[in-house]
Amino acid sequence: MTNSKAEEFEFIALEAYRFLVCGQTGKAQETLAEVYQQLLTFTELLPADKVQFLAKLFTVMHNAQEKNDLIYLADILRFEVLTLIKVHFADG
């Protein structure tokens, strides 16, 4: 995985974050779909322990979406998911 893919993911994740915190649910949902799709491709490149952690984050994110807690969802995306991807691909 090139660093450019991680940078592209960061851009999309931060865009989704902004839409979520601004309450732009339509745009947030569209962007989140792209975030989730990219995360699926990252799972093939992550070690098993990070994939397991990401799976737990998916559950938390899903629950936040179900409760319509967009701020919590945004925070998990920005401070947990994005950090996981950035740290892993910065090391690798």
pLDDT in tens, 27-67: 999 999 999 999 999 888 899 999 999 999 999 999 999 99
Global pTM reads: 0.89
Instruction: Name 3's Cβ contacts closer than 8 Å, sequence gap at least 6.
Output: 89, 90
Which phi and psi angles does 46 have, rounded to 5°? -95, 150
On the question of pLDDT at 92 being above 80, the answer is no
**Token pair for 23:** 């309450």
DSSP 56-74: HHHHHHHHHHHTT-HHHHH
**What own/partner pairs with CB < 8 Å and gap ≥ 24 does 40-44 have?**
42/1, 42/9, 42/85
> What pLDDT band is residue 2 in, cutting at 50, 70 and 90?
low
Task: Give the model's pLDDT for residue 68.
Answer: 93
